[in-house]
A and B are shown apart, each in its own frame.
Chain A
Amino acid sequence: MIWFLLIVSAIVLFIGYLTAISSRDLIRLLISLELMFGSVFLALIPLFTSMPSSAFGVAVITIFTSSSELLILIIAIMLIDKKFRTISVDTISAGGDTID
């Protein structure tokens, strides 16, 4: 069944990609990123067949780091909304900062 899990993981990853490139607001971009991380979690299952302890360590690190990254992104979205009064992707096309 490994081929099926990997195919499902790839499909979810590409759905996340398509959602990311078709999104015009940051919330949808955040959702697509979480979907991509979900596909990574799914692709991690075959690693448990050969190295279960290491795979569990990788899973713990992946879950914690991705959660931290998404939490920072959520804070950034809130700050961008506070500053620009919009969450459109076009707002951050130049990084969201202005160079004086």
Chain B
Amino acid sequence: MDYLVLTLGIATVLFACGVLLTRDNLYASLYMSATLILIATIYTVYSLQSVFVLITFIFVGAIGIITIALAATYRFTPARKISIYWLIPIAIVTVILAYTYYLYSEQMGIVLIKEHSFASFPTEYLLVVVFLVSLMALLMLSAIRLVRGESS
């Protein structure tokens, strides 16, 4: 299992590098979708198939495909410019993350989850679903209002 996770992790980093290095938006979106699918596949290694389904169907299947369609529509290679000032917060976050990983990485270990996570989720699951559906409806209504306001 360790070799499988190692292989999937390395492939994830390589595909993510493809997003950074390619100059075409369409290929960048394709690399991004492949990266997300590989991340979802790592979940299945730890018997978390329900999260795999959620990430693949909702995040990649819906949002990723729309992004690919948008990237195919606006397919051009823009000029790049990296601001030095934006590299400063990235360096700060890097130091904080490295220190945190150094402190906590050796104290925990991953164990396989035997029971089915979806079935073991508490009964408040329906309440969470209602909240999430309400959130989606509110966001969609605000989007429709934006579009109508723009057209009028």
Contacts and interface: CB of A to CB of B under 8 A. Distances in A.
A97 B12 CA distance: 38
Contacts, number: 203
Interface of A: 1-8, 10-19, 21-25, 27-28, 30-32, 34-35, 37-39, 41-42, 45-46, 48-50, 52-53, 56-57, 59-61, 63-68, 70-72, 74-79, 81-83, 87-88
Interface in B1-43: 2, 5-6, 9, 12-13, 16-17, 19-20, 25, 28-29, 32, 35-36, 39-40, 42-43
The main secondary structure of chain A at its interface with chain B is helix
Interface size classification for chain B: 35 or more
Contact of A59 (B51, B83, B93): B51
The main secondary structure of chain B at its interface with chain A is helix
Interface of B: 2, 5-6, 9, 12-13, 16-17, 19-20, 25, 28-29, 32, 35-36, 39-40, 42-43, 46, 48, 50-51, 54-55, 58-59, 62-64, 66-67, 70-71, 74, 76, 78-83, 86-87, 90, 93-94, 97-98, 101, 105-106, 108-111, 113, 115, 117-118, 120-122, 125, 128, 132, 135-136, 139-140, 142-143, 146-147, 150
